[in-house]
């Protein structure tokens, strides 16, 4: 299945982690590497114009942007740093180094030093000629990412920590003049969404790239199916269904002497400020695909769900069913679930006035049926190829001087997932207008001090949990 961050990098924290605030700016022009960094940023002094990339994101309005810089390609490799050395981060790094010839790994950061060591060892074993990570470029702690962003020898950062940290990491990486790969989701609350929108705009102005981990937008059978729908092959879209139903996930018990902050970071999937719950952390893949198909975010969400099998101190639910209404009175029936011994289902069905399009997850391909149930079209696709293609597109856009910036669209899909979660948690109908214009939802803690970090307030209860 698409990578969940379930074995990801925000897995433990030491009580000595520093959270001191720092301010970052591009390196001084006196730095001998500045001219190269200015090339790789596509020219920070030039405001980039917006060009839609229709073969990647076929939306009603341009969502993906490129710089119009005419700078020629550099002969030097793009220097990569990974921030978050868990399973998803190491996988993304391996994808980039496998498909790109002109990259070099130069720095690693994670909460735990041993995870940096593990990733360096793994990459040396697979891509020895592309790895040059000195011991002093191995950073550990909550502030480890800051040391990477302040490093003038880093051109491109891969942000793959727990999702709750993504908006602030994105914003600071843009301000530091870095190109970015950001894993999905890009936000878990409304405050993070607005942070992402602002970061997108600054990246377009700076001429720095942001590509996101929404690999289905680069999977051949998904792209081909959306093109068929855009061309009217199934007529007008009437409704759709989407499912991301799987089995149980990991849970890590509290260890003796572990602080509350350590415990939540180590067990991040089960705390909403860190993961956003399953619908945001994992099922956003399918929600993003449906926003792409529909050409916009939905107008409303109404739904329900519950928890039957989660550990007592997990904030997660284990099932949600949401009706999303899109412009034109088109309804998406969406469901996600993580319950042991239940039937798995992962894919999307779009019903039109002239036919039906099935877009299956993983590498199962797409197919179109006419009104009589006859298959009239099909397309194959490989999810592993799509995972690598997003990194190829990112690096190619940097070296061509036309960096892709696609954060806004992924932020919209992430907020769509948040919208469904809030509808289920509160039992209320939630509108896109309320979320984007009135909501004050900000889940990130005021402080990450391990000495007085608050314990969880428990899981949401419809009718009691308020919509804010």
Specify the pLDDT at position 381.
Answer: 97
* Cis preceding linkage at 185, omega within 30: yes
**Tens digits of residue pLDDT in 410-435:** 999 999 999 999 999 999 999 999 99
Specify the pLDDT at position 37.
Answer: 43
Identify which has the larger pLDDT, 22 or 314: 314
Specify the pLDDT at position 248.
Answer: 87
Indicate the helix (H) or strand (E) that contains 274: helix 272-275
For tokens 């709750």, name the residue: 164
Indicate the helix (H) or strand (E) that contains 321: strand 319-326
Q: How far apart are CA 468 and CA 324, in angstroms?
A: 19
Q: Hey, is 205 helix, strand or coil?
A: helix
Tell whether pTM > 0.85. yes
Q: How far apart are CA 193 and CA 156, in angstroms?
A: 22
Please say if the pLDDT value at position 452 is more than 80: yes
Specify the pLDDT at position 386.
Answer: 98
Q: Hey, is 10 helix, strand or coil?
A: coil
Beta strands in 111-159 (DSSP E): 138-140, 156-159
* Two structure tokens written together for 271: 């705390």
Specify the pLDDT at position 75.
Answer: 76
Q: Hey, is 332 helix, strand or coil?
A: strand
Angle of CA points 118, 183, 150, to nearest 5°: 70
- CA–centroid distance for 414 within its chain: 8
Mean pLDDT of 373-380: 98
**Tens digits of residue pLDDT in 237-292:** 999 999 999 998 999 999 999 999 999 999 999 999 999 999 999 999 999 999 99
For the chain, helix, strand, coil in percent to 5 are 35, 20, 45
Specify the pLDDT at position 64.
Answer: 55
Mean pLDDT of 211-219: 98
Instruction: Kindly indicate the confidence band of residue 66, based on its pLDDT and cuts at 50, 70 and 90.
Output: low
Specify the pLDDT at position 407.
Answer: 98
* Two structure tokens written together for 19: 């959270």
Q: Are 157 and 249 in contact (CB under 8 A)?
A: no
**Can you say whether residue 305 is alpha, beta or left, with left for phi > 0 and alpha for psi between -120 and 50 degrees?**
left
Specify the pLDDT at position 184.
Answer: 98
- Work out the mean pLDDT of the chain and round it to a whole number: 88
Please say if the pLDDT value at position 11 is more than 60: no
Q: Are 459 and 315 in contact (CB under 8 A)?
A: yes
Burial class (CB in 10 A: 0-12, 13-18, 19+), 280: buried
Mean pLDDT of 41-66: 37
Find the range with the poorest average confidence among 64-68, 284-288, 333-337. Answer: 64-68
Q: How far apart are CA 348 and CA 158, in angstroms?
A: 29
Please say if the pLDDT value at position 53 is more than 70: no
State in Å, rounded, how far the first CA of the chain is from the last one.
33
Q: Which residues contact 378 (CB under 8 A, 6 or more apart)?
A: 365, 366, 367, 368
Find the range with the poorest average confidence among 58-67, 180-189, 221-230, 442-451. Answer: 58-67
* Two structure tokens written together for 377: 């079209």
Specify the pLDDT at position 74.
Answer: 58
* Two structure tokens written together for 82: 């990974």
Residue 214: which of 19, 33, 2, 39 has the closest Cα? 2
Please say if the pLDDT value at position 71 is more than 90: no
Instruction: Kindly indicate the confidence band of residue 394, based on its pLDDT and cuts at 50, 70 and 90.
Output: very high
């Amino acid at each position: 299945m698409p990578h969940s961050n379930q074995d990801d990098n925000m897995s433990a924290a030491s009580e000595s982690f520093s959270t001191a605030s720092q301010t970052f700016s591009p390196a001084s022009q006196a730095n001998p590497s500045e001219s190269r960094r200015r090339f790789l940023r596509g020219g920070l002094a030039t405001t980039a114009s917006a060009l839609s990339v229709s073969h990647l994101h076929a939306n009603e309005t341009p969502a993906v942007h490129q710089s119009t810089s005419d700078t020629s390609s550099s002969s030097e490799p793009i220097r990569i740093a990974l921030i978050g050395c868990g399973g998803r981060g190491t996988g993304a790094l391996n994808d980039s180094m496998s498909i790109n010839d002109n990259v070099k790994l130069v720095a690693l950061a994670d909460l735990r030093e041993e995870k940096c060591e593990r990733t360096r060892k793994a990459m040396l074993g697979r891509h020895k000629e592309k790895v040059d990570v000195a011991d002093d470029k191995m950073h550990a702690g909550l502030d480890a990412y800051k040391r990477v962003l302040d490093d003038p020898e880093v051109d491109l950062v891969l942000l793959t920590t727990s999702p709750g940290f993504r908006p602030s990491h994105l914003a600071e990486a843009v301000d530091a003049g870095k190109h970015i790969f950001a894993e999905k989701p890009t936000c878990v609350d409304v405050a993070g969404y607005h942070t992402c929108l602002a970061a997108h705009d600054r990246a377009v102005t700076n001429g720095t790239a942001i590509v996101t981990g929404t690999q289905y937008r680069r999977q051949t059978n998904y792209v081909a199916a959306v093109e068929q729908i855009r061309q009217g092959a199934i007529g007008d879209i009437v409704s759709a269904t989407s499912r991301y139903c799987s089995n149980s996930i990991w849970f890590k018990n509290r260890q003796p002497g572990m602080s509350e902050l350590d415990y939540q970071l180590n067990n991040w999937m089960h705390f909403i400020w860190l993961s956003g719950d399953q619908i945001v952390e994992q099922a956003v893949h399918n929600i993003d695909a449906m926003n792409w198909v529909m050409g916009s975010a939905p107008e409303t969400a109404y739904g329900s769900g519950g928890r039957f099998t989660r550990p007592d101190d997990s904030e997660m639910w284990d099932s949600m069913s949401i009706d999303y209404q899109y412009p034109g009175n088109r309804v998406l029936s969406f469901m996600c679930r993580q319950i042991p011994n239940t039937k798995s289902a992962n894919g999307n069905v779009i019903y039109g006035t002239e036919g039906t399009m099935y877009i299956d997850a993983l590498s199962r391909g797409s197919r179109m049926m006419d009104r009589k149930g006859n298959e009239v079209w099909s397309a194959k696709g490989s999810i592993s190829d799509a995972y690598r293609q997003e990194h190829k597109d990112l690096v190619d856009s940097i070296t061509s001087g036309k960096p892709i910036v696609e954060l806004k669209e992924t932020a919209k899909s992430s907020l769509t997932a948040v919208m469904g979660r809030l509808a289920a948690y509160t039992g209320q109908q939630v509108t896109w207008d309320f979320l984007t214009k009135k909501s004050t939802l900000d889940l990130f803690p005021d402080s990450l001090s391990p000495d007085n970090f608050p314990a969880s307030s428990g899981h949401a209860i419809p009718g009691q949990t308020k919509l804010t």
